[in-house]
Chains A and B, each alone.
Chain A
């Protein structure tokens, strides 16, 4: 065996190389463990690590059926406790177009209010701040929402005009340190996001997280909430949801919207209701039931770091088997890559 003579200089160089390689390996390992990640753009003390979540999927073929009873059952399935709590329902009335499936059906809104009252809610109001139109009353009247609410004795709050409170953000995606949030949402014990099951031409899918755009007052952020669009829609979605923090999601998927949503798409009879105390888990389930891969919806995965559970293996499906009711929605233009 030939002997090898190593000079002191060679020893230093080789030792350095070993150190570098060890360092690189250590960095790789540490990186995998998250040791060198930037601080997360949210405050972990405010948003603890999401745990397991339950999502109820219910078959609902028509708005004429006993939606109230179905919602009572589904709220019980996810162990929603609203006893003696004040509730704000936030449906989606971003815009109105006759014959379209843009909006959460008014009958669903009233059924949810009645179900929550039956389960002991101390008060229920309905609130929305349409993103496109300044005349909220025109949207509410033309869509039939106002008459339906009047008949049911439910108060409607226009979030574009309601009093607002400065709300510091515990997440930092938009680069705004605070949002002006309607007081009615801050003071409610329970905010329920009630979106339509829809595709969306800017972010792929619009469900309970995106629905919270309508919580932001137009007189502060403009129409169509343009300040928030400029800051990036995915960024805004997670910050707004973190500020509003709805504690229930009820997704109206009896008739959803496919293709060029959220306004110009086509109705699709999906025949489902999705209910959860975790909006992220509800949206992951909703995306999957539209035939989309939720892991390809960037804002949903980011929200899964701190706003709710996005990992399918940690989402317990209750009620119906979602696979039985999954429909292949046509994706929004440019979002074909989301199709599972």
Chain B
């Protein structure tokens, strides 16, 4: 299926990621940073790694959320991915925390169509629902609590409302002053990972947008997440094109020095078994 040697690419990226690990077992957001929850969670998924998972568990609070080493609360969006990387009680606790974090699209909004979704910030007074946090939460709910239909449908409604006119998603604003804004490949890939298996037009229009947009947004994170989205949607031709692009990007220092992007690339190039935790099996 692949035109690149995906296994070699995966192993090469895996070696690179392993070299970025900190002495405490976690992974940093940048070369000169300490271990952080977001980076370590993605690395734990990508490496299927017990040491990284233990580090994530060590940062979990009693409410299921996570704190950084400097006592900053980690984003609830990181907790969504943590729920997939952890297992047992810590995983359920992380998901419960995520489910308690649903926020309205606008602060203080009370209109019936102001759906609940998920945001980046942990303080409800400061947070609004945005695309990627909502998509991450949707992915976690589908994998771990598929019976929670209300959370699933709410997340899908939020993503429906935030979809751009071009079929993609940006951070979460489809238009400003009646001017349509563009979707981004990276955010669209994350939305599609959340939307896999939904019987709506959203996924089809999103995939069309992603096929034409990822080649012109040449970042490692974007390309890795696009590859993953195509694989999870069974779009082999597009996945092949994304893998080709990722192989070229994987030679760039500006990509290799980004632990989170490299971790997503390890995950995206991994075996079917490795990406299974993110797969929706209705």
Q: Which chain A residues have a beta carbon within 8 Å of chain B's beta carbons? A: 97, 132-142, 146, 150, 156-158, 161-164, 166, 180, 201, 218-224, 226-227, 230-231, 260, 263-264, 333-334
A-B contact pairs, 21 of them (CB 8 A): A97-B182, A133-B184, A134-B132, A137-B219, A138-B185, A138-B217, A138-B221, A139-B219, A142-B219, A158-B258, A161-B260, A163-B29, A163-B32, A163-B34, A219-B29, A219-B38, A219-B75, A224-B173, A226-B127, A227-B126, A230-B127
Cα distance A134–B126 when bound, in Å? 19
Contact B261 A137 (CB under 8 A): yes
| Interfacial chain B residues near A333, Cβ < 8 Å | 177
Verify A163–B186 contact, CB threshold 8 A: no
Residue pair A135, B171 in contact (C-beta under 8 Å): no
Are A141 and B186 neighbours in the complex by a CB distance under 8 Å? no
Q: Which residue of B lies closest to A217 (CB)?
A: B29
- B258 touching A226 by the CB < 8 A rule? no
In angstroms, Cα B225 to Cα A133, docked, is: 14
- How far does the alpha carbon of A27 sit from the alpha carbon of B32 in the complex, in Å? 57
Closest to A160 in B: B29
What separation, in Å, do the CA atoms of A146 and B126 have in the docked complex? 33
Determine if B3 is an interface residue (Cβ-Cβ < 8 Å). no
Check A161/B218 contact, CB under 8 A, given A132-B171, A221-B121: no
The reply to whether the CB of B33 lies closer than 8 angstroms to some CB of chain A is: yes
Interface residues on B, range: 35 or more
Check A135–B217 contact: CB distance below 8 A: yes
Contact of A260 among B33, B179, B260, B261 (CB under 8 A): B179
A221 to chain B, nearest CB (A): 7
Given A161-B258, A219-B38, A260-B179: A138 and B219 within 8 A (CB)?
yes
A137's contact among B32, B123, B216, B221, by CB below 8 Å, is which? B221
Say whether A223 contacts B258, CB under 8 Å: no
Query: What chain A residues lie within 8 Å of B121 (beta carbons)?
Result: 221-222, 226-227
Roughly how many angstroms separate A136 CA and B187 CA in the complex, as a whole number?
Answer: 13
Q: Using an 8 Å CB-CB cutoff, how does the interface string of B206-231 with A read, 1 for contact, 0 for none?
A: 00000000001111111000000000
Given contacts A166-B70, A227-B121, contact A142 B218 (CB under 8 A): yes
Contact A161 B171 (CB under 8 A): no
> Which residue from A158, A162, A222 sits with its C-beta under 8 Å from B120?
A222
**Bound-state Cα–Cα, A219 to B70, Å:** 14
Beta-carbon contact of B126 and A135 below 8 Å: no
How far is it, in angstroms, between the C-alpha of A133 and the C-alpha of B255 when the chains are bound? 16
Query: CA of A224 to CA of B130 in the docked complex: distance in angstroms?
Result: 9
A230 to B255, CA, bound (A): 32
- A137-B221, A219-B75, A334-B177 provided; 15 other pairs, C-beta below 8 A? A137-B254, A137-B255, A138-B185, A138-B221, A141-B219, A142-B219, A157-B30, A163-B33, A221-B120, A223-B132, A224-B171, A226-B120, A226-B126, A227-B126, A230-B125
Given A138-B186, A163-B34, answer yes or no on A226-B132 (Cβ-Cβ < 8 Å).
no
